[in-house]
Structure 1
């Protein structure tokens, strides 16, 4: 490389934070703060509506039809009808009901305003009747889309960069309290977007501002309505011992097991998705019948509630940990099989997010292995959650934080074990993942 001739002026390096010092950026910060209020209120209303639909379809409707308690076969026809409606929504409404959950959490930007009704309807139909998915993906899409639409009504001269920043802030506000802490939602979106360096700070500041305001709105609305905040919580966590050599050995085992389990779930769900898309309406109804049938099999075989196979599993994590003594190893293994297969079927056609079911499957696996010598219950629970999350999402930092912050002070104790299990699961998962194909649609490598 030739040397620069003497006297030649050297261009000054571009200031990556120049945008932050402008008045336009200050205006965007103010806009993000203002939009965080209605967006978080809409997100709270969405979660409240999902909860009411679940209560209506599985508690009030059976009672209205004369049943003293919900029959174990009830999910089969209900999910079949829901699958039919979701298939029609995906086929007929703009936007295809949002992103395909089998492809993971994908950063595609805020959806168009015309796509928002279809995204909301498909998610409500899926989550309200028990599909094995979480609300995080629809909330991210709805929060970003609503924020961009509202900002466009206020200022029609927004640049594409400003639209992206406002959309990200809306997504931050929508998931601010869902994972139990605004920071967890922020880390999730940071890893999904793949931002790094100075640009991370440019986007992160308004996002954190929206997330903080959104968390306050969630808390206020939860207190005012008496509905709670719909945040991920566990309640009482059993105490755990300081990690030892046996614990680190189990971290390796759990990491490898989660990687293979996650690879199997992901590949099966993508294969099913390819077949579902050939006849969307009929095939989605069939997958709904499959999910309901798996809940029936679990209920009749184990004597437990079939709802443990349904839904995201978010609200069952605390009961699973505190009431683990009431589950035999056989019941736990059956729950893993039925929940994983229902997860695959739901990922292939329904609309929602993949985070909470992955946490649930990992937690059940960790609890089942804790019956063996050398593995503490709480440590097994935490390592299973972290390892399975990273196997399905490939977001290592978020997976570690989800598994540790969720457990409070006990999470700090088991954090070294969780880190080892997450790293092992992450590396093995990448080794098991086929190389991405240029231009291929639906490749899981495009997630995160």
Structure 2
């Protein structure tokens, strides 16, 4: 390493560790050591964004391959109704092997909501990546955001330690946060959304938030530029949360505020039931992962098969996170009957609960999908426009399944709705707050999210 690099890291040491007194946030921001920390944050944003880009692209290619292409290669005219059962079970076997034999327990347990805990060690990274890829590729009902945060944080810390082995722990926390920002922002296509999600999950507030936020935002901005460049080179396409051509909506009415209360209450009850069942099943996983996770895969696949047999819809409506299927669900809402939507919500919710208990991934997007499907079903009743039902359902279910984080739930919903966000913000906020409070009242048994001692 160059002499300048060693000097910069010594400056980081000064910022990150003080022998007797802690500098104020403004003193840290003005120090030369903090500038060095910003440079390191920008540097880790590049490799983290590259890894996140190809991770997401691998997931996007693997999902249709295992669900539709592989049956065709095996000689089937289409995907058999029963195909999801062995497919998700194979994913369960792979996840069980990861939990049993690889270090790190596959990463964070998604049943606990979205949490930004301790950074992942380099030793645990292969297990986190393998378990999450097996989960996402083979059809379990979870998303990529949880593993991306862990992988981004772990990679950033690994890079910092490769540069200087004895980097202080407080500096590693900031570098790890920068890596998480860069990784999650590539998925959410918004550094601001990533900042809300991680700051609210960690619980950082006040003036210290700016100290944590600056390296992360810089890493996320650099990562976004890397994403654009990689898309130009590879032509794979960019990721987007926004739903195009969503039905227009006028100013919210008094009736829609009433629906916001009802949807928030319903989401609090449904989301709590999903998490409660997940926690009950989760207790059986650690002693017997090689038995329980394949059985969980059979259940998830069986629920998808039941849905396909009862409707003319595809298994992908029940399987996977729902992130890519959600725009088509909303745009094609007229092709769904109320009965089909109710069955979709039931099957997806049960599959989601089982996946939360046994697999490894993120809890965000399946909750958004279930909330949207429920909102579409309720929009068949008087006084609830389709777009309003979708927005309220998405926001309310998101806040419950994240284990809180109301600001993040509102922001994700607004990013999702884009052009109609301004008209819906008031009723979305009402639905989110009602769902959040309802879930909190129904779930005193849930453990509070731990905070880092250094926060």
Distance in 2 of aligned mates of 1:13 and 1:276: 43
Q: Do residues 158 (structure 1) and 167 (structure 2) align?
A: yes
Distance in 2 of aligned mates of 1:20 and 1:280: 46
Match of 1:248 in 2: 257
CA-based RMSD of the aligned residues comes to 1.5
Residues 95-127 of structure 1: per-residue CA shift (max 9 Å, x gap): 011111111112212111100000000001110
Which of residues 207, 214, 219 is equivalent to 2:216? 207
Distance in 2 of aligned mates of 1:13 and 1:58: 54
Which of residues 406, 413, 423 is equivalent to 2:423? 413
Residues 317-360 of structure 1: per-residue CA shift (max 9 Å, x gap): 11111100000000000000000000011001111000000100
TM-score (norm 2): 0.92
Q: Do residues 304 (structure 1) and 307 (structure 2) align?
A: no
Q: CA deviation at 1:407?
A: 1.1
Which of residues 180, 191, 195 is equivalent to 2:189? 180
Q: Do residues 446 (structure 1) and 449 (structure 2) align?
A: yes
Which of residues 371, 377, 381 is equivalent to 2:386? 377
Residues 276-312 of structure 1: per-residue CA shift (max 9 Å, x gap): 2231111100000000000000001012111100000
Distance in 1 of aligned mates of 2:119 and 2:76: 44
**How many corresponding residue pairs?**
430
Distance in 2 of aligned mates of 1:257 and 1:363: 13
TM-score (norm 1): 0.94
| Stretches of structure 1 lacking an aligned partner (at least 5 in a row) | 1-11, 436-442
Q: Is contact 1:103-1:447 (8 Å) kept?
A: no
Which of residues 429, 439, 446 is equivalent to 1:429? 439
Q: Is contact 2:182-2:219 (8 Å) kept?
A: yes
Match of 2:365 in 1: 356
Q: CA deviation at 1:447?
A: 6.8
Match of 1:7 in 2: none
Aligned residue runs from structure 1 range 160-309, under 5 A: 160-309=169-318
Which of residues 407, 411, 427 is equivalent to 1:397? 407
- Runs of 4+ in structure 1 deviating by more than 4 angstroms, as ranges, are none
Q: CA deviation at 1:376?
A: 0.8
Distance in 2 of aligned mates of 1:424 and 1:355: 18
Distance in 1 of aligned mates of 2:357 and 2:450: 15
| Stretches of structure 2 lacking an aligned partner (at least 5 in a row) | 1-20
Question: Do the aligned partners of residues 387 and 105 (structure 1) sit closer, same or farther apart at CA in structure 2, a change above 3 Å counting?
Answer: same
Q: Is contact 2:242-2:415 (8 Å) kept?
A: no
Distance in 2 of aligned mates of 1:289 and 1:444: 29
Which of residues 104, 107, 126 is equivalent to 2:116? 107
Residues 141-184 of structure 1: per-residue CA shift (max 9 Å, x gap): 00000000001111233211110000000000111131232211
Question: Do the aligned partners of residues 244 and 99 (structure 1) sit closer, same or farther apart at CA in structure 2, a change above 3 Å counting?
Answer: same
Q: Do residues 336 (structure 1) and 345 (structure 2) align?
A: yes
Out of 56-65 and 37-46, give the one that drifted further.
56-65
Q: Do residues 367 (structure 1) and 370 (structure 2) align?
A: no
Question: Do the aligned partners of residues 217 and 14 (structure 1) sit closer, same or farther apart at CA in structure 2, a change above 3 Å counting?
Answer: closer
Q: CA deviation at 1:13?
A: 11
Residues 389-423 of structure 1: per-residue CA shift (max 9 Å, x gap): 11111110001111112211211101000011111
Which of residues 29, 32, 43 is equivalent to 2:38? 29
Q: Does the residue aligned with 1:314 lie in a helix, a strand or coil? A: coil
